[in-house]
């Protein structure tokens, strides 16, 4: 098995059928008549709109943020969707620097950096639906788009935000308007676009753990009004906040034959969680005519940062009687107390638990397999895209997005101790080509305006997992194998969507998507080591033990139906029904060739009832959404047993999700602003089918991995005008969530308690034009907390934790010109 066993209970969704669909029809969703469809030539310009550029203390501006989620430009308050939009100033004010920080900005959204056994990945879930496994056998449950280009893997999704203009977070199934189908929702990140005004900025930051962060951008006109260019780049470097300690140096009397790696008095040999990222991107805009525009983009990312922080918390069988972490029924072949190879001279036991929240013992090589591990988790990525907007006839606009992306990276899990029970070095490769093309227009039906879009999406992804896995099963022996596993992902789809303005207040929407997908995975696993006495697997080293392939094909249609009603200019309500799915795949971690089996898609049926309100002066916005979903065909490990455990994914069971979301923004007086969000997710598994009773699998009372029942945020800021010395804006924000589980069966060991973290920021707009200074403090109260736990008590008798960062400071100076 190439990583730690994970459950595929990708937070499931529940069904509930809007008992009040009839009532909802009376509360019809609505926008004022849009008149005519906004030209797709403006679709990519939301990030450059005046509203997007305005700060969070400007009431009219933040109420007028323009979004393009419905393939037309419209205000957030006029969009009959559960959507959160964040402009560049809001991102800065709230300290959102990475994709994973977005989980703090929207209700019922979870985005967590993955553990070490998933590399630079972000586990993303919306309304309890998503993906918590990086393996290429799966696909994201929440779609991530960078400048309209779909990112087809979970790996590589933990990104720094670069020259970002705006972010839209859409909750609920998406797919009848753009891109690829997604069951949980979509996150759309838009870069700043060329304006040709010779503007730009330089930004430099210094902070805790020797963080050095520099960003810069330049916007120019190569040919006035016709050829515009924007280039941006930056670096982000820091030391990690978890210290790696050489065990033999710190504990010479308990080290056996482990040789010291350092003679430093501190015995420190490195850190975990450090950053070392460089990026560059450029956008060339060609205004070929008043009707034809082409944007050509390119980007490069070089991430050589350290592995994510992780510490060893428990070795259960070091003292099997110690409560509360006993492991009854543990497999006899996994008795770590007996792992005491004569070359090492010590067992794997509690001596490797440091007892310090921010310290771990280093692991530079596997002394049983002689495999050398590094502390890096690198990713190198390239992308290029071309976007065409062409209004070739009055009222008819062609929109095309052509893109190619590729990356290479490494997943390295050294195991959090100098003696190994399981570890891996997995180089990964990915390349993808995608093409989206759509045609939008308008018509008149019964003397009322109708807006429409039809389009298609093509995606070809090719992936490969390489590397080595070392799993110590019995004293002195183990399973050591290499892999060379290619996979492919093909998606073809057609979509259509119409918006009919039945009256000036009543809007009707109907959309449909038809998809065909094929995913194939091939396994080439071969033994790489043979120790004495004979290992559990007696095949000679170099011989294959898991070889073969399988594929899954998916064909289905997904509708969306919505009704909206604009009761007054300040009140709009809507009701909608939509479906989505996550395509099938192939069992990702077979232990025998017989386990190379395919599984089908899991599906969501979602019902939503919402309202968007604001006061006449736009000083208060209050939006609410109620949702209920059916989730069927859960992709879960549904079989286990034998001398060597097997984990075979199948489509089993069903679940139901009910919940609500509230978002509010207020500016009661000049300079003072509040923001608040609250999300509630009620998750209930209805049936588990063949997965019932599987060891380590979910039960009927289980909650989805990493999904809290409650989450939210409350923020306040006040702008103080100090005359000749400029203005000061202090901000305080609290981000909170209820407890979550990190394992499918919701064990006590895998439970992360509820937490509330406080962040603070002070911005000084200096008297020097364009020059600002800001101090950001995250985790102001220095609260110790975990982002993730790896509960492997039933497999390797260990529990590992991923500590969240302690209190950190970041001082930033920014000059705009």
Tell me if 456 sits within 8 A of 494, measured CB to CB: yes
Q: pLDDT of 93-135, one tens digit each? A: 999 999 999 999 999 999 999 988 888 999 999 999 999 999 9
Closest CA to 103 of 75, 134, 82, 124: 124
pTM: predicted TM-score of the whole model, two decimal places: 0.88
Domain with residue 470: its CATH number is: 2.40.170.20
- Residue 506 in any domain: the answer is yes
- Backbone region of residue 200 per phi and psi (left: phi > 0; alpha: psi in -120 to 50; beta: other values): left
| Residue 542 confidence class, pLDDT cut points 50, 70, 90 | low
- Residue 6 in any domain: the answer is no
Sheet strands side by side (includes 122-126): 109-113, 122-126, 129-131
Q: Which domain holds residue 461?
A: 21-816
Kind and range of the H or E run holding 676: strand 672-687
- CA 303/CA 705 separation, integer angstroms: 28
- Residue 711 in any domain: the answer is yes
- Residue 15 in any domain: the answer is no
The confidence score (pLDDT) of residue 216 equals: 97
Number of domains within the chain? 1
The confidence score (pLDDT) of residue 350 equals: 81
Backbone φ and ψ for 42, nearest 5 degrees, come out as: -100, 0
| Residue 449 confidence class, pLDDT cut points 50, 70, 90 | very high
| Residue 718 confidence class, pLDDT cut points 50, 70, 90 | very high
Average pLDDT, the chain: 85
Please report the sign of the dihedral spanned by the C-alpha atoms of residue 131, residue 136, residue 138, residue 141.
positive
Tell me if 657 sits within 8 A of 698, measured CB to CB: no
Helix, strand, coil percent content, the chain, rounded in steps of 5: 10, 55, 40
- CA 101/CA 759 separation, integer angstroms: 12
- Residue 8 in any domain: the answer is no
**335, pLDDT greater than 80:** no
Q: Which whole number is the average pLDDT over 410-430?
A: 84
Neighbours of 201 (CB within 10 A): 18
Lowest-pLDDT choice from 335-339, 488-492, 802-806: 335-339
Give the start-end residues of each E strand in 446-471. 448-465, 468-471
| Residue 416 confidence class, pLDDT cut points 50, 70, 90 | confident
**464, pLDDT greater than 60:** yes
- Residue 5 in any domain: the answer is no
Please give the C-alpha separations between residue 755 and each of 736, 744, 750, 758, in angstroms, as whole numbers.
Answer: 6, 21, 15, 10
- Residue 1 in any domain: the answer is no
**325, pLDDT greater than 90:** no
């Amino acid at each position: 098995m190439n990583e730690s066993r994970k459950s595929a209970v990708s937070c499931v969704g529940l069904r509930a059928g809007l008992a009040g669909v009839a009532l909802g029809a009376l509360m019809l969703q609505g926008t004022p008549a849009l008149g005519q469809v906004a030209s797709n030539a403006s679709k990519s310009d939301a990030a450059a709109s005046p509203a997007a550029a305005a700060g969070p203390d400007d009431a009219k501006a933040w109420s007028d943020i323009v979004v393009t989620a419905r393939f037309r430009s419209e205000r957030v308050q006029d969009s009959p969707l559960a959507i959160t939009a964040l402009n560049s100033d809001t991102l800065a004010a709230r300290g959102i620097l990475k994709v994973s920080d977005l989980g703090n900005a929207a209700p019922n959204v979870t985005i967590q950096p993955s553990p070490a056994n998933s590399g630079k990945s972000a586990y993303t879930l919306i309304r309890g639906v998503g993906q918590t496994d990086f393996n290429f056998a799966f696909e994201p449950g929440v779609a991530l788009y960078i400048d309209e280009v779909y990112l087809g893997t979970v790996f590589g999704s933990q990104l720094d935000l670069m020259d970002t203009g705006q972010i839209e977070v859409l909750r609920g199934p998406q797919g009848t308007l753009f891109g690829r189908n997604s069951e949980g929702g979509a996150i759309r990140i838009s870069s700043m676009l060329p304006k040709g005004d010779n503007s730009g900025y330089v930004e430099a930051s210094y902070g805790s753990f020797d963080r050095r962060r520099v960003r810069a951008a330049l916007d120019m006109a190569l040919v006035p009004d016709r050829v515009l260019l924007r280039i941006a780049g930056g670096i982000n470097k820091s030391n990690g906040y978890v210290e790696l300690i050489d065990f033999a140096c710190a504990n010479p009397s308990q080290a056996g034959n482990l040789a010291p790696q350092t003679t430093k008095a501190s015995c420190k040999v490195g850190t975990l969680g450090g950053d070392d990222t460089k990026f560059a991107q450029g956008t060339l805009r060609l205004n070929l005519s008043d009707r034809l525009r082409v944007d050509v983009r390119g980007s490069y990312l070089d991430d050589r940062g350290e592995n994510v922080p992780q510490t060893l918390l428990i070795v259960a069988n070091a003292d099997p009687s110690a409560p509360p972490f006993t492991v009854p029924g543990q497999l006899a072949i996994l008795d770590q107390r007996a792992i005491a190879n004569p070359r090492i001279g010590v067992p794997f036991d509690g001596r490797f638990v440091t007892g310090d929240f921010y310290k771990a013992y280093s692991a530079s090589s596997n002394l049983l397999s002689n495999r050398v591990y590094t502390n890096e988790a690198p990713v190198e990525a390239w992308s290029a895209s071309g976007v065409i907007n062409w209004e070739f006839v009055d009222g008819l606009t062609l929109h095309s997005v052509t893109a190619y992306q590729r990356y290479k990276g490494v997943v390295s899990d050294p195991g959090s101790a100098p003696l190994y029970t399981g570890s891996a070095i997995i180089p990964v490769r990915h390349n993808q080509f995608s093409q989206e093309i759509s045609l939008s227009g308008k018509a008149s039906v019964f003397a009322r305006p109708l807006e429409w879009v039809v389009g298609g999406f093509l995606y070809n992804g090719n992936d490969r997992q390489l590397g080595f896995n070392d799993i110590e099963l019995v004293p002195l022996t183990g399973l050591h194998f290499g892999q060379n596993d290619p996979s492919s992902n093909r998606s073809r789809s057609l979509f259509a969507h119409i918006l009919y303005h039945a009256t000036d207040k009543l809007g009707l929407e109907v959309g449909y998507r038809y998809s065909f997908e094929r995913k194939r995975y091939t396994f080439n696993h071969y033994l790489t080591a043979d120790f004495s006495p004979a290992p559990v697997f007696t095949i000679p080293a170099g011989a294959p033990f898991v070889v073969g392939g399988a594929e899954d094909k998916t064909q289905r249609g997904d509708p969306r139906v919505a009704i909206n009603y604009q009761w007054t200019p300040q009140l709009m309500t809507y009701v909608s029904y939509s479906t989505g799915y996550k395509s099938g795949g192939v069992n990702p971690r077979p232990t025998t060739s017989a386990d190379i089996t395919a599984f089908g898609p899991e599906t969501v049926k979602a019902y939503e009832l919402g309202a968007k309100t604001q006061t006449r002066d736009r000083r208060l916005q209050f939006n609410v959404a109620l949702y209920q979903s059916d989730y069927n065909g859960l992709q879960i490990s549904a079989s286990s047993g034998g001398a060597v455990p097997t984990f075979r994914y199948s489509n089993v069971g069903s679940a139901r999700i009910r919940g609500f979301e509230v978002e509010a923004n207020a500016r009661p007086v000049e300079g003072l602003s509040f923001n608040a969000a609250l999300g509630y997710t009620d998750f209930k598994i209805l049936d588990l089918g063949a997965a019932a009773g599987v060891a380590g699998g979910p039960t009927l009372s289980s909650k989805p991995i990493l999904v809290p029942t409650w989450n939210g945020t409350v923020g306040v800021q006040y702008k103080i005008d100090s005359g000749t010395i400029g203005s000061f804006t202090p901000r305080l924000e609290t981000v909170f969530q209820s407890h979550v589980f990190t394992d499918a069966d919701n064990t006590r060991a895998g439970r992360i308690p509820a937490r509330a973290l406080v962040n603070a920021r002070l911005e000084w707009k200096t008297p020097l034009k364009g020059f600002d200074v800001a101090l950001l403090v995250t985790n102001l109260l220095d609260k110790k907390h975990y982002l993730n736990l790896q509960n492997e008590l039933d497999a390797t008798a260990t529990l590992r934790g991923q500590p969240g960062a302690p209190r950190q400071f970041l001082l930033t100076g920014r000059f705009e010109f």
